[in-house]
Structure 1
Amino acid sequence: MGVPSLLKSASVAALLVGASEAANIIQANDDGWAELYLRSFHNAMIADGHDAVVSAPGSDLSGSGSLNTTPTDRILACEYDSCPADTLTPTGTNASDTRLNWVNSFPATSMEYGINEFGPGIWGAGTVPDLAVAGPNVGSNIGFIQVEGSGTVGATCYAVDQGIPAIAFSGITTGNLAWDTEPVPLRSTLYAELALEVTNAVLAAGTPYLPDDVFLNVNMAAVEGNCTDTSAFSYILTRINTPSILSTSDTPTCGDTWLPTETSVMDDGGCYVSISVGTCSDKTDASAADQLTVLNKLSGLLSCLPA
């Protein structure tokens, strides 16, 4: 990524944060606390003035949905040896950066501990996060089957169920990366920048950031070909499921009464970020009214697909 792109992205992000305020943000994932995608996004939020706190599983627990169990004492080392074996504690904190924390349980449990313990431990007792984010996930979370089983979405919906607005981020490019990978691959940096722009756009729109029971499911196209700079990407409002005969119409936009599916947008091969509005009660598409609320809030960010 060239310097002009970094400056452009930083400029957009600064304007969006300036329009709102720096936020207290809880961040989880399902790939583990030491996964580089999560760390790059965390670092981007901190650099942009947000007070982000990580609370994520000590190991990769992808595909665990909304499972939530009390963490047990950890015996094995954390992923990438990021915590030693035989810690014999259910949670842990990075000694040099207390905003980085692991939980020996599922992504949803990690989000729970972040909201109730790690976040307030940094911000002050009783402080509720302004926003929760999960990811970016290593790989896509598109369509009902992936969304239903996603630990990234499960963590996001735990926050929503506590009344905290939340966003699930996923990057199509796969390949797990340790937190200390050097040099940092472009895909990790680029996904962090794209996720930050969506986060800041939501915050800049003001409270309430999202409707009740609603989460955003965000998927970012593969970092390859022409899609290697933030300026190449367009943000598209999408839906999770293909409409059926029982479906009601989406909010009208871009000359259509149906939104494109996130699967069709990601399969298009273009430089797109799909943003679907889902409900945590069933992890499927939100109502047209809730879609319209998000459309209005993110109108300055969203684009239409080419005709």
Structure 2
Amino acid sequence: MYSLLLLAAAAPFAQAVRIIQSNDDGWAEANVRTFFNALNAAGHEAVLSAPAENQSGTGSSDATPTTVGSDGCQFDSCPGGSPPTGANATDPRLNYVNSFPVTSIKNGISVTAPKLWNGAAPELALTGPNVGSNIGIQVPFSGTVGAAVYAAETAQIPAIAFSGQTGDPTAWNAETPLHSQIYADLALNVTTTIINSGKPYLPPNTFLNVNFPSVSQCSDPSQFKYIFTRINLGLFSAADADWCGSTRLPTESSVILFKGSGCYVTISPGDATDKTTVNDAAVQTQIINKLKPILSCLP
């Protein structure tokens, strides 16, 4: 295993940016906390605003936060009866919202983060890594994706949703699982590449849907390859960007199930208005050019 400092050092240099984070697995889950640590170790100003409890599968639901129930927050991370929103006692950058993922990131964008940044707004929104994949027909129901879509469409903040196939919900204060460390490293690599590409980080009303495969075959981040994909099949869509010798991008599902050698990360351009693939080849090309330093083609 490697330390978070080594994770950060392994990534190419990127200028420090203000990042709002969220997820749907809960603010105390190991994946999002490990990624938070990696982002801050890399020099970014990350603020986490995520649900007090696991809210997987809640899509774009949104509701006023309520007082925490008698059982307290996830993994005993706050006591029963706690306020509707709150922060870690020793680190105000770690925040819970007792509601849905969309509500959580909305509160982070409009309330929590600006207070910590002297009124400044987030420059980038990152959600996850989700515990479990979000590919194809899963995407509309994912709270991790829902939070990213809110940031991209409503708040007009470039957004990336990360999900990983391996793992079960794990407490923030348990021993950090290997998959959480690997997914944090891979997510940091994608984030760094987008930041290094310059502003605007993504075209308007788009988000990236990124899925990491199982770590059972590949346990070193250098073994993974990044493939540009589609969320949905697009049988009746216009031609995609001309990439890897084709004008039809492979789907996330087909790449995740690909039987060739190697481990493949899928990166899909998402339309924030309907959570499907961006079907504009010119917009796809813009994103490909930003990600080109890390992209590969399937063999």
TM over 0.5: yes
Write the letter of the residue equivalent to 1:222.
S
Shift of the alpha carbon at 1:176?
1.0
Partners of 2:2 and 2:54 lie apart in 1 by 32
Label 1:112 to 1:274 Cα distance change in 2 as closer, same or farther (>3 A). same
Label 1:2 to 1:12 Cα distance change in 2 as closer, same or farther (>3 A). closer
Deviations 1:177-210 (A, max 9, x none): 110112x111010000000000010000000000
Alignment check: 8 A CA contact 2:8 2:38 kept: no
Whether 1:190 aligns to 2:182 is yes
Whether 1:116 aligns to 2:113 is no
Match of 1:65 in 2: 59
Write the letter of the residue equivalent to 2:74.
E
Q: Secondary structure at the match of 1:177?
A: coil
Q: Which runs of 5+ in 2 are unaligned?
A: none
Whether 1:241 aligns to 2:232 is yes
Q: Secondary structure at the match of 1:16?
A: coil
Q: Secondary structure at the match of 2:282?
A: helix
Q: Secondary structure at the match of 2:245?
A: coil
Give the root-mean-square deviation of aligned CA atoms. Answer: 1.5
Match of 1:86 in 2: 81
Match of 1:277 in 2: 269
Match of 2:13 in 1: 16
Alignment check: 8 A CA contact 1:29 1:38 kept: yes
Q: Secondary structure at the match of 1:135?
A: strand
Identity over aligned residues, as a percent? 54
Shift of the alpha carbon at 1:174?
3.0
Alignment check: 8 A CA contact 1:92 1:101 kept: yes
Partners of 2:52 and 2:35 lie apart in 1 by 18
TM-score under structure 1 normalisation?
0.93
Deviations 1:134-163 (A, max 9, x none): 0000000000x2100000010001111211
Deviations 1:17-69 (A, max 9, x none): 1xxx1010000000000000000000000000001000000000000001111
Whether 1:172 aligns to 2:181 is no
Partners of 1:175 and 1:296 lie apart in 2 by 34
Match of 1:266 in 2: 256
Alignment check: 8 A CA contact 2:134 2:163 kept: yes
Partners of 1:69 and 1:203 lie apart in 2 by 32
Alignment check: 8 A CA contact 1:16 1:201 kept: no
Partners of 2:84 and 2:151 lie apart in 1 by 21
Partners of 2:167 and 2:256 lie apart in 1 by 14
Structure 1 residue runs of 4 or more that deviate by more than 2 Å after TM superposition: 9-12
Alignment check: 8 A CA contact 1:66 1:154 kept: yes
Partners of 2:29 and 2:39 lie apart in 1 by 16
Partners of 2:50 and 2:2 lie apart in 1 by 31
Alignment check: 8 A CA contact 1:250 1:259 kept: yes
Which runs of structure 2 are paired with 1:1-307 in the superposition (5 Å)?
Answer: 1=1, 10-13=8-11, 15-17=12-14, 21-76=15-70, 77-87=72-82, 89-125=83-119, 127-143=120-136, 145-161=137-153, 162-182=155-175, 184-225=176-217, 227-244=218-235, 246-268=236-258, 270-286=262-278, 287-306=280-299
Q: Secondary structure at the match of 2:129?
A: strand
Partners of 1:292 and 1:149 lie apart in 2 by 27
